[in-house]
């Protein structure tokens, strides 16, 4: 519950690097990059909070990968 994916597509253009498939029924919310950019004009503080949350997730994922790589060496 409360998980997310594809957050980098909000911050950079281009094709997505990965895809996802649900294992069970779920409810999804899609935020398209154009919609996000429009919201950024209207509610910049809300978008900054969202971007900070995205950066936090990215940092956690990078740290986990780094730890896995160091453990494999």
Gap between the Cα atoms of 47 and 68, Å rounded: 32
Q: What is the predicted pLDDT for the residue at 60?
A: 92
| pTM for this predicted structure | 0.69
Q: What is the predicted pLDDT for the residue at 22?
A: 86
Q: What is the predicted pLDDT for the residue at 7?
A: 84
Q: Measuring CA to CA, which residue among 30, 1, 3 is closest to residue 16?
A: 30
pLDDT per residue rounded down to tens, the chain (73 residues): 677 788 888 888 888 777 888 889 988 888 888 999 999 999 999 999 988 988 998 899 899 999 999 999 8
Gap between the Cα atoms of 51 and 39, Å rounded: 12
Q: Are 48 and 41 in contact (CB under 8 A)?
A: no
Q: What is the predicted pLDDT for the residue at 1?
A: 67
């Amino acid at each position: 519950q409360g998980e997310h994916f594809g957050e980098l597509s909000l911050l950079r253009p281009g094709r997505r690097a990965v895809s996802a498939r649900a294992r069970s029924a779920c409810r999804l919310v899609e935020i398209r990059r154009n919609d996000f950019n429009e919201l950024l004009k209207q509610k910049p503080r809300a978008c900054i909070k969202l971007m900070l949350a995205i950066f936090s997730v990215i940092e956690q994922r990078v740290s986990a990968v780094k730890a896995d790589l160091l453990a494999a060496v």
